[in-house]
Amino acid sequence: MSWFLRGIKKGVKTERFPVGDPEYKPGWSTEISGEGPAECPTGAIDNGRWIPERCIFCRRCYPNYKPTGNVRIGKIYRTNGMFSKSLHVYTIDVGSCGGCNQEINALTSPHYDMNRLGIFFVNTPRQADALVVLGPLSESMREPLMRAYQAMPEPKLVVAGCSCAVVNDFPLKFDAVIPGSPPNPYTMLDVLIKLGRNKK
């Protein structure tokens, strides 16, 4: 109901992000900063340095470490300017809990509206520019993952859609990692935009 009323009041429902900061800042799944000891179960804090791609935002390091609100925390290793006008994304769930699926699906909602930025989901890897992997790789999904990757045309990019995807012995090289378990949609959007624009 609040979304509906906000839409009527504002006239436009969609975020201005990535122009400027997010309109509604997410709480925890943003950059973490602080000092002192941390009982981090994933080793995401090393000598006080935060390592985003290892963070699952479990909050065990609180209150020594707190979120700053910065959503631009994706790790991008390789981009491809060929996708500057549009990026077609195929998501593959290789064993997720469902959290990152829900967050990435939110990108099609009126609030984020990824289509306005030239980002589209496709139903087959044969039409995909980027493969977004969700969840830690289970043995039974190893072969379907490789078949999806091989079906994609060149050039192609591989993205870890959450921190869980990077924990296992993963058979493909990631071009980008979207930190969090689950990440917030702003971070997902930020990484997908930068992937196609030769901008890290």
Q: Which residues of the chain form contacts with ligand SF4 (CB under 6 A)? A: 32, 38, 40, 42, 44-45, 55-61, 65
Q: Please, is 154 exposed, middle or buried when counting C-beta atoms within 10 Å of its C-beta (0-12, 13-18, 19+)?
A: exposed
Q: Which is nearer to ligand SF4, 74 or 125 (CB)?
A: 74
Tell the smallest beta-carbon distance from residue 13 to ligand SF4 (Å). 31
17 or 50: whose CB is closer to ligand SF4?
Answer: 50
Cβ 116 vs Cβ 155: under 8 Å:
no
Rounded distance between C-alpha atoms, residue 179 and residue 166, angstroms: 10
Cis upstream peptide for 63 (omega within 30°): yes
**59/200 with CB nearer ligand SF4:** 59
- Report residue 31: phi and psi, to 5°: -50, 140
Q: How far is the CB of 50 from ligand SF4 (least distance, A)?
A: 6
Least distance in angstroms from the C-beta of 29 to ligand SF4: 9
Least CB distance to ligand SF4 at residue 28 (A)? 7
CB of 179 to ligand SF4, least distance (A): 9
When the beta carbons of 10 and 59 are compared against ligand SF4, the nearer one is: 59
Q: What's the CA gap between 101 and 104, in Å, rounded? A: 5
Q: Write down the least CB distance from residue 39 to ligand SF4, Å.
A: 7
d(CA 79, CA 101): 23
* Backbone CA torsion sign across 38, 42, 43, 48: negative
Contact between 130 and 80 under an 8 Å Cβ cutoff? The reply is no
How many residues are there in the chain?
200
CA-nearest of 83, 6, 73, 85 to 15 is: 6
Is the Cβ of residue 75 or residue 111 nearer to ligand SF4 in the bound state? 75
Give the nearer residue to ligand SF4 in terms of CB position, either 40 or 87. Answer: 40
